[in-house]
Amino acid sequence: MDEHLAGLNSSQKEAALHTDGPLLIVAGAGAGKTKTITHRIVNLIKTGIEPNKILAVTFTNKSAKEMRERILNEIEKNAKGNIEQNTIPFVSTFHSLGVYIIKENSRLLGVTRHFTILDEGDSLSIIKEALKENDLDPKQYEPKRMKGIISREKGKFTKMEEYFENATDYLPRIVARIWKSYEAKKLKENALDFDDLLLKATTLLKENLEVRKMYQDRWSHIHIDEYQDTNEAQYIMSKLLSEKHKNICVVGDADQNIYSWRGANLKNILSFEKDYPNAKIVLLEENYRSTKNILEAANTIIKKNKYRPDKNLFTSNPVGEKISLHEALEETEEADFIACKILEIADRQNVLEKSIAQTDEPSTAISQQGNMRAFRENILPVWSDIAILYRANFQSRVLEEAMLRYNIPYQVLGVKFFERKEIKDTLAYLRAAMNPESLSDIKRIINFPARGIGKTTLAKLFAGEKENLPIKMQIKIRDFYELLEDTKEQIQTRTASEVIKYIIKKSCIEDELKNGDEEELERLENIKELATLALKYDNLENGLGVEKLIEDASLASDQDSIMITNEKPEKINAVKLMTVHASKGLEFKYVFVTGLEEGLFPNQRDTENKSAEDSEEERRLFYVAITRAREKLFLSYANFRTIFGERRINTPSQFIGDIPADIIEKGDEDPNVKTIYI
C-alpha cells in the first residue's frame, strides 16, 4: 500500500484513489474530509498529474490556507520525485478565484488590474448616493435592503439587464433603477463589489469561449469543498471549469447546508448525480471527533429532515458522558449556570494538574510529553476548549456579562480586524494610490487626518470644479494627491510592511493619534499591527505584496479575521462565544448550545415563506451546533427571555424532545453541579 494512504479508512481510500471522472464525497461532520481531499490530490500527483493542473476551491481563506499547508506537507513527504520546482496545486476560495480570473482578463471586463473591491460599508454608501440621485428617500428605501436584494439576484446569476427587463411590480422597478445607478457609479470608480467577483468571472467563462477554454486547459482536475454551500454563480463556475475533462470532485454534506440566506442552494449537491450521470459516490460516515452519545443525538435529530441523502455517522470513540440539559428561569440564570459549569471544568483541570504534580513517579504519558507545560497544553482542558453557541447575536450580551461577573476570560468570534475604522482608513490609502478613480476611498481619507477639506469642497472636487476653489484649498488637495503619487511609487519599490509604515508617518496619521486619548492610542496600535501582519507579504516584489494584502483584506470572512492578533483564534486561551453559523468548521471539547426555545432556536422568522428544503435549515443548524462537541455537550433554555424590550414566555425547543431521553441528564440533577449565583 502507498505510504501516503496510510491512516485512511476504506471509504477515504476509495475517494483518494479515484482519479478519473466526477466524484461526490458525502462527508459527515468530523469525518476527515480535508484529509481525504489532501490525499486525493497527492495521489493524483503520484499518478503523473502535474500539480499546477489541479484546482481546489473552498469558502474561507482559513480553510484554503489549511488545505494548502496540508497538501504541500504531504507533497513534500510523499511526492518529491514527481514535482518540478515552483509547480503546486492552485488552492483558493471562490472569491479569490474570481479575482484571479478578473485580473487576468480585466480589459475584457472594462476594469483595470488594480480595481477596488468594495466592502459592505462602501457598497451601502454608493447605494445611498444612488437613492438620492433617483430622488428616493434612504429612510423609506433602506440601502441595506436594496443591497440585499441586488446581492441575492447576483448570487442567482441574474444580470442587472435581465432584472431590469423583468421588473414589473413596484419594488422591483425601484430596485432596478437603484441597481442601474449603482453599477454606473462602480464603473466610474473602477470598483467591484463582493458579488461581482463571482458574477463577472462566471459570466466571462460562460460567454467567452476562448477564456473558458484557457482555464479548462489550465486545470484538468477540479475540487470543490463545501459544495452544499454553493450558490448559482458558484455552481455554474464549477460546471464550466470542469466541462471539458469532467474530472470534478465535490465534497459536501447536505446536513450542513446552513447558508440559504446567502443564496446557497441545497439542490446543487442533491442533483450532482443528475448533472454527472457517471459520477462515483463515496460516503464518509466514520466520525473521528465526537463521542457515541453526541453522535446518537446528531443522527436522531437530522433523520427528521427529508431533503438529504441517507447516511448514519458512527465512531470508535467512547460512549462518553450524557448530554446535559438545563432549564433556567430566565436568560440571566441561564448565563450564570453556564459560567458556573465552566468554572467547574477549570476546577477539575486544577485538581488534575495538582495531583499529577504531586505524583512521585510521573506516568509514561507525561514523560513522553517532555515536561509538565507540554502536558498541560496537550492533555488538560483549557479555556479555549470551551465554546458557547447561540442562534442570534443579541444573545451574547447576557453571556458576556456572566463571563465578566465570574472572571472568566472570553473571546467573541466574528469581530473583524479588517472592519475596524482605522484599518479601513489605512487600506484606503493603499487602494486610492493604486486606483485613483476610487472616489469612495478618496472620500474616506482626504480629510483623515484632518486637512480642513469639507463636504462642500469634496463635492466641487468630484464635480470637476477644483479651479473654482480658494488657492489654499487647491494647495491642500494638490498635496493630498501628491501623497498618493508618492505612495504609489513606494508600493512599487518597497515591501508591504514598509509601505504601511510610510503611510502612517507621511499622512500624519501617527501624529494625529499618538497624542490622543486611550481609544486613539489603541487605534494607532491596531494600524501598527497591520504593518506587522503585512510582513508575510514582504517576499512579493513590484507592488504584488501590497496588492495581495489588499485582496486578502477585502476577501476576509468572519472566521479569517476574528481578533486583532497574529495567533490562530483557537490558540487564544479564552472561552469562545459565537453564533452557530460562525462555529461551522470548528470543534471544541466542551460545547454549550443556549437559547433552545421555540421561536428562537428554531427561529420562527427564518422558517417563514421558505421552500420545503430551506424550511429544514433550522434543524440542520442545530445539527451543526451539536456536532461541534468532542466530549461533552450542554443544552439550555430559559422559560422567560427579554427580546427587543419584550419579556416573552417560552416553550422548550422541539429539538430537545427529538433527542433520545436515555442519553440526556438534567443539569440541575447532575451531582457534579455546584451552582453559586452572584
| Residues designated as active site | 33-34, 225-226, 256, 628
Give 88: exposed, middle or buried? Use CB within 10 Å, 0-12, 13-18, 19+. Answer: middle
Short-list 214, 183, 216, CA closest to 200? 183
One-character DSSP codes across 435-455: -TT-HHHHHHHTTSS--S--H
H/E stretch holding 215: helix 209-218
d(CA 465, CA 627): 61
Which grid coordinates belong to 491? Answer: 508600493
d(CA 600, CA 606): 10
Look up residue 321 and give its DSSP letter: P
How crowded is the C-beta side of 492, counted as CA atoms within 13 Å? 8
The answer to whether the CB of 22 falls within 8 A of the CB of 280 is yes
d(CA 74, CA 86): 16
Alpha helices in 246-330 (DSSP H): 267-270, 272-275, 292-302
d(CA 59, CA 96): 9
Which grid coordinates belong to 8? Answer: 485512511
d(CA 427, CA 441): 9
Give 279: exposed, middle or buried? Use CB within 10 Å, 0-12, 13-18, 19+. Answer: middle
The string over 169-202, giving b where at least 16 C-beta atoms fall within 10 Å of a residue's C-beta and e elsewhere, is eeebebbbbbbbbbbebbeebbbbbbbbbbbbbb
Which grid coordinates belong to 36? Answer: 481525504
Give 352: exposed, middle or buried? Use CB within 10 Å, 0-12, 13-18, 19+. Answer: middle
